[in-house]
Structure 1
Amino acid sequence: MTAFDARELVGELEVTLDVDVLVGAYPDRDGPPGTPGSVLEALAAHRIRAGAVASLRAALFDMRSGNDEVLALSGGPLAPGDGTDGGPDGGTPAGVVPVGTVDLRDPIGAVREIDRLAPLGVRAIRLFPDEQGVEAGFPSVRHVARRAAALGLVVLTGGDVRRFWQPFAGLDAKVVFLDTHFYHLGDFLVVAADEPGFHTSTRLLNSPDALETVPADRLLYGSRTPHYEPVVPLLRLATGGLKPDEIAAVAGGNARRLFA
């Protein structure tokens, strides 16, 4: 029996910007260590040329030091010998687009951190409501949403889209819902119809017609490398019914437009 090889189905698909990439590890669950070198190598191995990278350290322990780690990754050539000077095939490692992470348990400190990061060129912030035990109705979420929208920043947020759309409504906010499940796709489409800045990651849209149901300009490729298998959303994108120009938009064009 021949082992299944996803590379044949993925073909020459190339992702120019993955909006859901993490460095670091979860201390309370099994999983990869998430070292920067290993993460960038994993992206490169799947023909993902750049990642919007956020820090689990910033989400779980300390915003400033975790965000500074990500900023350092994007600040110049990575030092050889640290596992980041080439992918498994000897190619160039993926590039890093820094994403600032804030702690919704500390709304005052979160907005202070946003104000520190924005002048440094950070164009997106990431929210981890599930990991931080924060619900959509908490005042902290709306407080952070307002500041991000006022600065024109993209918000990458986890959480159930059926609840977490609410704090961003009416703000002319640019939001990417990273955890939209295909079971909840109808709810996303309903709220997105009234919010032109609402977008969704492809990561959990794995039903036969999920990607084709969403307007292509609202879809962004996300893999959650290294804590999810990137080949799954790659296969769905490569083998679905989208046209070549739509695939290119989903695989990075839309993200680059939002982050511009």
Structure 2
Amino acid sequence: MTAFDASKLVGELGVTLDVDVLVGAYPDRDGPPGTPRSVLDTLTAHRIRAGAVASLRATLFDMRSGNDEVLALAASDDTRGEVVPVGAVDLRDPIGAVQEIDRLAELGVKAIRLFPDEQGVEAGFPSVRHVARKAAGLGLVVLTGGDVRRFWQPFSGLDATVVFLDTHFYHLGDFLVVAADEPGFHTSTRLLNSPDALETVPPDRLLYGSRTPHYEPVVPLLRLATSGLKPDEIAAVAGGNARRLLG
């Protein structure tokens, strides 16, 4: 049996900015160590020039030290240009989270990332709305996990710019309904792998995301490369929209 070669279908497609990249490891599950160099090498191997990078250390253990590691990575001569820093905040500590958001904004960070599933936080918890208001008030982009059918609610009516990283194609209709009333709502392509999912979303609302190294980047690459989008739309999804939002 001949192995399937996705590279022939992906062709020359390159991504200028992947909106969903992590460094670090989950202590409670098997997976890659997520060292910065190994993560960036994985991106390079898939023709992904840069990633919007957040820290699992900041997510699971200590916001400040984890975020400082990402900031240092973005500033390093060895990795400058490959990393757009994203601040992770802990929704279990809403007071500390908004203090960290203020600190990150003063340091020039343009986006924060929420990990509700990893932190055991539900969309209706007051902490989520509290953090959403703070981020929107500062004009920060929010990258958030969680089921879009619930996690759209804390951001509604705030004129917030949000990228829903876990939109599944089964829930795409729900995203489209809420996004029609919220011009700042966007979605990652990671789980939109049905035959017509990408073509259904306005191309200016789509951002390529891979969740490297905890997901296989070739899957969303293959879907984008074989989509029915026009070349300029593919370029927008493959980094143009992310650059517009994250600077």
Q: After TM superposition, is the score higher than 0.5? A: yes
CA–CA distance in structure 1, aligned partners of residues 222 and 112 of structure 2: 28
CA–CA distance in structure 1, aligned partners of residues 86 and 70 of structure 2: 7
The 3-state SS of whatever aligns with 1:187 is helix
CA–CA distance in structure 2, aligned partners of residues 127 and 138 of structure 1: 13
CA–CA distance in structure 2, aligned partners of residues 3 and 182 of structure 1: 27
User: Residues 78-97 of structure 1 correspond to what in structure 2 (within 5 A)?
Assistant: 78=78, 95-97=82-84
The 3-state SS of whatever aligns with 2:187 is strand
Q: How far off its partner does 1:77 sit?
A: 1.1
Alignment partner, residue 215 of structure 1: 202
Alignment partner, residue 183 of structure 1: 170
Aligned residues: 247
User: What is the aligned counterpart of 1:248 among 231, 235, 244?
Assistant: 235
CA–CA distance in structure 1, aligned partners of residues 30 and 207 of structure 2: 27
Q: How far off its partner does 1:180 sit?
A: 0.2
Is the contact made by 1:48 and 1:94 (CA closer than 8 Å) also made in structure 2?
no
User: What is the aligned counterpart of 1:172 among 135, 156, 159?
Assistant: 159
Runs (5+) with no aligned partner, structure 2: none
CA–CA distance in structure 2, aligned partners of residues 2 and 77 of structure 1: 42
CA–CA distance in structure 2, aligned partners of residues 156 and 44 of structure 1: 22
CA–CA distance in structure 1, aligned partners of residues 115 and 76 of structure 2: 27
Deviation sequence 1:111-140 (CA, Å, 0-9, x none):
000000011110000000000000000000
2:39 maps to 1:39: yes
The 3-state SS of whatever aligns with 2:83 is strand
The 3-state SS of whatever aligns with 2:75 is coil
Q: How far off its partner does 1:2 sit?
A: 2.7
2:113 maps to 1:134: no
Alignment partner, residue 5 of structure 1: 5
CA–CA distance in structure 1, aligned partners of residues 34 and 210 of structure 2: 14
Alignment partner, residue 48 of structure 2: 48
CA–CA distance in structure 1, aligned partners of residues 138 and 116 of structure 2: 21
Runs (5+) with no aligned partner, structure 1: 79-83, 85-92
CA–CA distance in structure 2, aligned partners of residues 213 and 191 of structure 1: 14
Alignment partner, residue 24 of structure 1: 24
Q: How far off its partner does 1:5 sit?
A: 1.3
The 3-state SS of whatever aligns with 2:142 is strand
Q: CA-atom RMSD, angstroms?
A: 1.0
The 3-state SS of whatever aligns with 1:156 is strand
CA–CA distance in structure 2, aligned partners of residues 143 and 52 of structure 1: 24
Query: Normalized against structure 1, the TM-score is what?
Result: 0.94
Is the contact made by 2:74 and 2:81 (CA closer than 8 Å) also made in structure 1?
no
Alignment partner, residue 120 of structure 1: 107
CA–CA distance in structure 1, aligned partners of residues 140 and 33 of structure 2: 29
**Percent of aligned pairs with the same amino acid:** 89
Query: Normalized against structure 2, the TM-score is what?
Result: 0.98
Q: How far off its partner does 1:245 sit?
A: 0.3
Deviation sequence 1:32-76 (CA, Å, 0-9, x none):
000000000000000000000000000000000000000000013
CA–CA distance in structure 2, aligned partners of residues 62 and 3 of structure 1: 43
CA–CA distance in structure 1, aligned partners of residues 175 and 202 of structure 2: 11
